[in-house]
Amino acid sequence: MRIKYVVGANALHYDYTASIECLANPQKPQYSGGIIINPDLNDGLKGWTGFGGAKIKHRESGSNKYIVAHSRDQPHHSVSQKLYLQKNKLYTFSAWIQVSEGKVPVTAVFKTTNGYTYAGAVVAESNCWSMLKGGLTVYTSGPAELYFESNDKLIEISVDSVSLQPFTQKQWSSHQHQSIEKTRKQKVVIQAVDKQGNPLANAKVSIEQQNSGFPFGCAINKNILNNKAYQNWFTSRFTVTSFEDEMKWYSTESTQGKEDYSVPDAMVQFAKQHSIAVRGHNVLWDDPQYQPGWVSSLSPSQLDSAVEKRLNSIMSRYKGQVIAWDVVNENLHFSFLESKIGQNASARFYKEAHKIDGSATLFMNEYNTIEDSRDGASTPAKYLQKLKEIQSYPGNTGWTIAIGLESHFTTPNLPYIRSSIDTLAATGSPIWLTELDVTSQPNQAQYLEQILREAHSHPKIQGIVIWAAWKPQGCYRMCLTDNNFKNLPTGDVVDKLLHEWGLKTLVSGTTDVNGHFEASLFHGDYEVKITHPTLVNPTSAQRFEVPPTNESKKTRLLLQVSI
């Protein structure tokens, strides 16, 4: 499947295109190759050399010309190109890769004066071409060398349609702005008329967003149940939540056969009272470290029965009360269930989950897919490989498994984040950032803002949950407030962006000669007030919704208000 969104920035566009199909021939290089010399290999080996001990050849298949690295003795032996990278530029990278046999991970690496930067990876195949899309941020100007790496030293690596396109910080921000205008907002025309339907010129119009249409939330824990200050701080900002620990198996059944849902019940009730949507986190966790204590001693058949009971117990209890479930958490990094029950364990449990609560969105929730390009276990390519395994299991076709990106960051690499989401978005599956935080450091608030802007502006991100449930002894990795619920710098970032994205923001003006007032508004619920001094009842207030709209069908929303 191939998707394409293109937005403008100073005449240099960002291309959201990504392909996750293995094609007979590679597509053309993005940005005509950018700063890569001979990007489509139509000019022999110009610009390209061998890296390490590899030998390289120029080959042709049909009308397609490409380069091959063979006789490889080390993982890094491949083809390379020398480049010069500029400080503070954001580089988006892509290439098309083929291997001589099997299905093999191949990584794009940039060797610089500061070390090695992993720009992205793909699971390449033989006899067809796969797109590797990634990126890197450059902090020091200087020479660099691009090469490709694979731990399988017996395979040949073929490369074609390579692209490396730099963007300035200003251009990158412009992409975000343009994408937000296109995907998060809609033109709304308000017409003020009198009781007879005649247009009212020079009427005063004020529009205030009451609720955002973009799901933006934060995790909570049981501390919120008896803390009014925490409740007030939280409910005035967020529309969606996950429970930090309270729904997890070790919390609800610490002793086998003795289930206790009293705490999550109360938390679900609290969320419901305040119109806050709940993500069910989590049903099962594939990390052996986070199983209930009694689980490790079970035989495979006993564990299978216990898991079936867990699935039915929690999902039936909260069916219709949660919008989503993280069904098998972190099943790329861990395989506790698979090791005990069989390699199809995750796939089976997604099938069961769909039978129990098919109305909720089922997520595969994982970390380091967009955070860390060095983590080979959970690259976008590995994520999609696992997703495909689960979806192809008998009984799992015809319904969607959503993509949950935990987003536990240290230092964000924005081009890698964007490119990774592009690749994941080619599935057509919903994508959420589910546990966003940044490690404690001097740049914590700045990095949080960068990530939130990047995620909110990406046309395929459908929701964000920050992982900052408050505890008096300190949060998991990042707090938004102090213990008196005064914002920390991270909380100020959240408030600034909520305001910027429309929450409680006042848009005002006057109607033209036809009684019209036009505004570009974020998706959400609004109240409009119209005042005109010539009328007996000079003020009229009305609620209206700006719904998310299919991009191809977007039109102006016309609202007529009679006063």
Determine the number of helices (DSSP H) and then strands (DSSP E) in the chain.
11, 32
Residues 57/151, Cβ–Cβ less than 8 Å: no
Amino acid at the residue 555: T
- Look at residues 432, 459, 526 and name the one whose alpha carbon lies nearest to residue 212: 526
Residues 225/267, Cβ–Cβ less than 8 Å: yes
Read off the DSSP letter of residue 486: P
Query: Does the active-site annotation cover 435?
Result: yes
DSSP strand pairing (524-531 vs 204-212)? antiparallel
Active-site choice (246, 253, 330, 406): 330
Active-site choice (366, 435, 449, 454): 435
Amino acid at the residue 384: L
Which DSSP helix (H) or strand (E) runs through 103? strand 103-112
Residues 476/467, Cβ–Cβ less than 8 Å: yes
Rounded CA-CA distance 168/122 in Å is: 26
Residues 377/385, Cβ–Cβ less than 8 Å: no
Residue carrying the six token digits 């929303």: 557
Read off the DSSP letter of residue 553: G
Query: Does the active-site annotation cover 60?
Result: no
- Look at residues 455, 542, 50, 531 and name the one whose alpha carbon lies nearest to residue 216: 455
Q: Which residues contact 160 (CB under 8 A, 6 or more apart)?
A: 26, 40, 41, 64, 65, 66, 67, 95, 96, 98, 129
Q: Residues with catalytic annotation? A: 330, 435
